[in-house]
Amino acid sequence: MPAKVRTIHRLRLALFLALFAAVLPGCSTLEGFFDNSRATHSTTALPADGQPLAEPLSRNFFVLASPQDSIVGELQLVRINEGDTFSDLAREYGLGYDEIVDANPTVDPWIPAAGTPVLLPTQYVLPDAKRRGIVLNIAAKRLFYYPDAADGEPQTVLTYPIGIGRVGWETPLGSSTVTAKARDPHWYVPISVRKEHAAAGDPLPSVVPPGPDNPLGRHVLKLGMPGYLIHGTNQPYGVGMRVSHGCVRLYPENIESLYELIAIGEPVAIVNQPHLLGRRDDQLFFESHPVLEDHALDTEQHIAALTKSVSDGGLSPLAPRKLEARLLAIADNAYGIPTRLRRGKGDEYFEEALLVRNTVEPDPNAPTLSEVREIMDAMPAEEAATAN
């Protein structure tokens, strides 16, 4: 392999290793990257090889057929190509890293075998909040934006994966507005962040200018909550995880699109809803996400309240006791997938998913697995030579 290409590969690998070894600059660090100890769902209804492939659905834009509906999108299924990672699939199909890991607990997210079917959780229960402006559900790690609809036109919604505040730097809940916007912003590093980095031996300047080293990316929406922003990132692989110092980050291409749509004064609601009931075509669904460890929630008590609400409203085909047991099972698995609540049916996610074409473009500079092993084997020897 040419020395120049090997250098590129080495730098890419070093970047990935650094993500796990240190606190990243700005609003970022990574937690739980390799946590794959989740319960599994059935894969008995996998599609046969050779089945026709559909084109992927819209990543972000959805139309609500009825004001009573609270579910958008459809599940999709894609087969892994050689060299794909979950981070590649997540960005290509409008998902965050945690979303795709939660939906596929038995698949290695970094070295999945070619041909492995991966469920894309591209169906979403809308948060229980007013459908106006921006709604952030930090439990689902997703942003929903409801543009104003013209008279007689159906409501539309755009949704994007987000990175949120890590433990100790939680993204706040509540209501706010967008108070300012900026392209190519300077980052005025908070004193608390500078102290943290200084203690870790990684001092930061008081101001980071626009450019590739700026963790805010190229677009920023300032919130009325002092110190909190919705922004892009120079580390897109952290989108969909708990990575920030409390700010909300999006993929660069997503914040660029959203930035053009948002006006000063746009309302913003930040909620924490890991358990979501939704309806579509008079059918009831339940979607569950892992409860954030720093947001106390009595799941059994919450499920009991949801069961009573649904049963009292006559919305469930299941008897209250069976409904409660079903909701608890879904909450415990926390796949982040809307599950239809009905009699005599299991979790037929793979059977109901649309098999789509894998549109991930191979990165010509990405190292192969054998090259990664070569580089990792060579690193200790090079470090020893440098030390001498």
CA–CA gap between residue 137 and residue 202 (Å, rounded): 32
Residue with tokens 């290509």: 92
Residue 296 tokens read as 């106390």
Residue with tokens 């041909």: 115
CA–CA gap between residue 33 and residue 96 (Å, rounded): 12
Which residues are CB-neighbours of 244 under 8 A, at least 6 positions away? 26, 27, 28, 163, 164, 165, 166, 169, 171, 238
Helix (H, G, I), strand (E, B) or coil at 101: helix
| Phi, psi angles (nearest 5°) of residue 333 | -70, -40
Note whether 112 and 82 are within 8 A (CB). Answer: no
Q: How many helices (H) and strands (E) does the chain have?
A: 9, 21
For residue 72, the cross-strand partners are: 124
SS3 content of the chain, % helix, strand, coil (to 5): 25, 25, 50
CA–CA gap between residue 244 and residue 183 (Å, rounded): 20
State the catalytic residues.
231, 247
Note whether 145 and 130 are within 8 A (CB). Answer: no
Helix (H) or strand (E) holding 4: helix 3-21
Residue 262 tokens read as 């948002």
| Phi, psi angles (nearest 5°) of residue 377 | -65, -35
| Phi, psi angles (nearest 5°) of residue 62 | -140, 150
DSSP-derived letter for residue 106 is T
Which residues are CB-neighbours of 137 under 8 A, at least 6 positions away? 127, 144, 271, 272, 273, 276
Helix (H) or strand (E) holding 324: helix 320-333
DSSP-derived letter for residue 28 is B
